[in-house]
Amino acid sequence: MLNSRPPHNGALAGLYIDGQWLSGGDSLRVINPATEEQLLDVAGGDAVAVEQAVRAASAAFPAWGLSSGGERGACLRRIAAGVAARRARLIQLQARNNGKPLAEAAIDVDDVIATFTYYAELAESLDVQQDIAVALPSAEFSARLRREPCGVVGLIVPWNFPMVTTAWKLAPALAAGCTVVLKPSEVTPLPELELADIIAESGLPAGVFNLVCGTGLAVGAPLAAHPGVAKLSFTGSNAVGVQVMQRAAETIKGVSLELGGKSSLLVFADADLDLSVELACGGGFFNAGQMCSATSRVLVAAELLEEFLARLQVRAEAIRVGDPLEPGVEMGALVNQAQYQRVCRHIADGLDAGARLLTGGERPAGLSRGYFLRPTVFTEVPLDSALWREEIFGPVLCVRSFVSEQEAIELANDSEFGLVASVVSGDASRAERVANALQAGLVWINAPQVIFPQTAWGGYKQSSIGRELGPWGLQAFQEIKHVIRAL
């Protein structure tokens, strides 16, 4: 059994509302993508469960919203400690439900611990900042500034980093004093169910955190439309982001959106080639490429192209793809059949469009079941092809050459997205100059995709509205109030 709670009628309870575990209606079939076998069923919810959850969150809000930052910080620390105590189990759940290798699942769980700890610190710092005086150009008035929680918030998350995307929303929402209704992905509910179990044990007051598992239409849509929800924070695809925004518009809800990406890794002529190849593989094949931050466009200085491609091919073909639970496996399975088929379609369309397949593009030999794909590299990808322009969300890199710094920047910025970018160069001033010119919310220089809770997550253009992490992640769940008094 993966979760500590007993199943109800053969399905795991998928609703945690007002401090109680409840069984919903429709069963969600949860699979292990590495074996295609069913792990278990989760009894998901619907609009009625959303109504119940919003009601519970609304009832809990007045007391939680008025609690001190210190009290909320202490709760967040208990959640971080609970996650740390179940670290090994959560790593297994991430690997089994999502298909990612154990080492990557461990990074996810540690990120969750770091995020709750960071927002515990921010929550604790709020009390001394509350009601600070505002300097005014008049002796006749005084003013003070308050930061207040915005109310009941709806959090909707995808399947690629279950628990991590949740922590990036949930920790700052609780720190701010909001009460929460969380909808995890129907594809990967198990890590969030375990997290809910940890929260249930943490002593958080009933109704502050509510979880409703279910599909996008049964649960996500009514949550996005609910008039009792003050703010929505959504991570997922652009297509669903548009729908969430449209529903939120009906009651003028605030929205934070973390959506897709089509990011670039830029390799300049003075770059360390081995480092460049490692970073290209990390940016393209980590999490089997199912990352909004995948640097799936690799731009290489023309004079390096031949040698770079030769080394990239060798490295990509050496990546050990297989059972995520086997130590030493570097790339696991894609999350489900739909995603596998979607990526295969993109590969076929790329070939039709005239791109040259350097390596990969097929199931690895010896893996007859599970949603596995070989690390795939294309070159000579037409600039107007879907492979170059659209988010693939699979282990597929597209390599092109450039002749000047300006051309590299223009190629990278020529996208409707602007989430992240990576620059590899031995010339520090060039790397900094290029980083400044790239339209992206986060740029790494000669570095893997390290993420700290202190630095913001989010991007330009159609990648995001708002920023997560850092103080910006907290501010997303706060209202600003000024009180001005005549003296």
Please report, as ranges, the residues that interact with ligand NAD according to CB under 6 A.
156-160, 165, 183, 185-186, 215-217, 220-221, 224, 235-237, 240, 243-244, 258-261, 292, 391, 393, 419, 463
Query: 278: exposed, middle or buried (C-beta count within 10 Å: 0-12, 13-18, 19+)?
Result: middle
Backbone angles phi, psi at 408, to 5 degrees: -60, -45
Q: In whole angstroms, give the CA distance from residue 26 to residue 14.
A: 10
Residues listed for the chain: 487
Q: In whole angstroms, give the CA distance from residue 186 to residue 116.
A: 23
For this structure, is 258 an active site residue?
Answer: yes
Closer to ligand NAD by Cβ: residue 188 or 202 = 188
What are the E-state strand segments in 342-472?
Answer: 356-359, 376-379, 396-402, 417-418, 420-424, 442-445, 460-461, 464-465
CB of 129 to ligand NAD, least distance (A): 28
Q: In whole angstroms, give the CA distance from residue 317 to residue 285.
A: 12
Closer to ligand NAD by Cβ: residue 119 or 234 = 234
Closer to ligand NAD by Cβ: residue 92 or 463 = 463
CB of 69 to ligand NAD, least distance (A): 26
CB of 315 to ligand NAD, least distance (A): 25
Backbone angles phi, psi at 33, to 5 degrees: -70, -15
Sign of the torsion angle spanned by Cα atoms 157, 160, 162, 166: negative
Q: How far is CA 442 from CA 315, 399, 423, 429, in A?
A: 26, 21, 11, 18
CB of 295 to ligand NAD, least distance (A): 13
CB of 48 to ligand NAD, least distance (A): 16
- The alpha carbon torsion through 193, 198, 199, 203 (nearest 10 deg) reads 150
Name the helix (H) or strand (E) containing 235.
strand 231-235
Q: Which two tokens stand for residue 173?
A: 């929402």
Q: Which residue has the tokens 């709020």?
A: 126
Catalytic one of 292, 391, 398, 468: 292
Is 388:377 a contact under the CB 8 Å cutoff?
no
Q: In whole angstroms, give the CA distance from residue 390 to residue 388.
A: 6
CB of 13 to ligand NAD, least distance (A): 18
Closer to ligand NAD by Cβ: residue 148 or 349 = 349
Catalytic one of 104, 124, 186, 258: 258
- Burial state string for 215-248 with b = 16 or more CB within 10 A and e = fewer than 16: bbebbbbbbbbbebbbbbbbbbbeebbebbbebb
Q: In whole angstroms, give the CA distance from residue 405 to residue 389.
A: 21
Amino acid at 286: F
Closer to ligand NAD by Cβ: residue 85 or 242 = 242
CB of 186 to ligand NAD, least distance (A): 5
Closer to ligand NAD by Cβ: residue 91 or 255 = 255
For this structure, is 479 an active site residue?
Answer: no
CB of 466 to ligand NAD, least distance (A): 11
Q: In whole angstroms, give the CA distance from residue 186 to residue 371.
A: 18
Closer to ligand NAD by Cβ: residue 152 or 431 = 152
Closer to ligand NAD by Cβ: residue 160 or 415 = 160
Closer to ligand NAD by Cβ: residue 142 or 460 = 460
Residue of 175, 163, 156 lying closest to 248 (CA atoms): 156
CB proximity list for 400: less than 8 A, separation 6 or greater: 297, 298, 299, 300, 379, 380, 381, 411
Q: Which two tokens stand for residue 32?
A: 């292990």
CB of 225 to ligand NAD, least distance (A): 9
Active-site residue list: 258, 292
